[in-house]
Amino acid sequence: MWLFSLLAGCDPQRIAELEEGVATEADVRARFGEPVAVYDEAGGARTFEYPRQPEGHRNYMITIGADGKMSALRQVLTPANFARVLPGMDKDAVRHLLGRPAKTSVYALAPNEDWDWRFLDGTQNKVFTVSFDKAGRVVSSVAAADPRDLHQTGG
């Protein structure tokens, strides 16, 4: 876990070294390494996924335009993105929107599978949970206090 904290702590420096419209794919890979997933976008762009889960509170999506230049670098675990998770969306669409979850839970006696992402809401640690049905479609989502914090504070 210490190594992860050290790596995640370097993100602000890495981000500062990348300028939209100037940084190349090679620059992005030099700063962030190999993405865990690559998504093909309209017009020949590609989006690279750089999750900081399970212990971090951020997931980054970095878009490389058809010209080979970085066109966007965004932290995707935000209330605005959570609001875009709608009933009926499939798992691939949710993963493309939010990146790799911190945790997945499959329940033997329940029809749902839950995906959790840890995020910061101001200074409060929270978890955003998306529940999928057996067909892999969103049935519900909710943000709540991180249960790990509740156990540590006794409440």
> Each residue of 61-82: pLDDT tens digit?
999 999 999 999 999 999 999 9
Cα torsion through 53, 117, 24, 44, rounded to 10: 130
Considering all CA atoms of the chain, what is the largest pairwise distance in Å, rounded to the nearest integer?
53
User: Do residues 98 and 91 touch, judged by C-beta distance below 8 A?
Assistant: no
Secondary structure of residue 60 in the 3-state scheme: strand
Q: Same CATH topology for 2-75 and 79-153?
A: yes
pLDDT, tens digit, for every residue of 101-128? 999 999 888 889 999 999 999 999 999 9
Task: Please list, in sequence order, all residues whose beta carbon lies within 8 angstroms of the beta carbon of residue 115, skipping any fewer than 6 positions away.
Answer: 91, 94, 101, 103, 104, 105, 129, 130, 132
The terminus-to-terminus CA distance of the chain in angstroms comes to: 25
Domain boundaries, the chain: 2-75, 79-153
CATH number at 79-153:
3.30.1450.10
Residue 126 Rama label (left phi>0; alpha psi -120 to 50; beta): beta
pLDDT, tens digit, for every residue of 20-51? 999 999 999 999 999 999 999 999 999 999 99
CATH number at 2-75:
3.30.1450
Task: Please list, in sequence order, all residues whose beta carbon lies within 8 angstroms of the beta carbon of residue 41, skipping any fewer than 6 positions away.
Answer: 47, 63
Smallest CA-to-CA distance from 130 within 91, 99, 92, 96 is with 91
Pairwise CA distance, residues 93 & 101, whole Å: 13
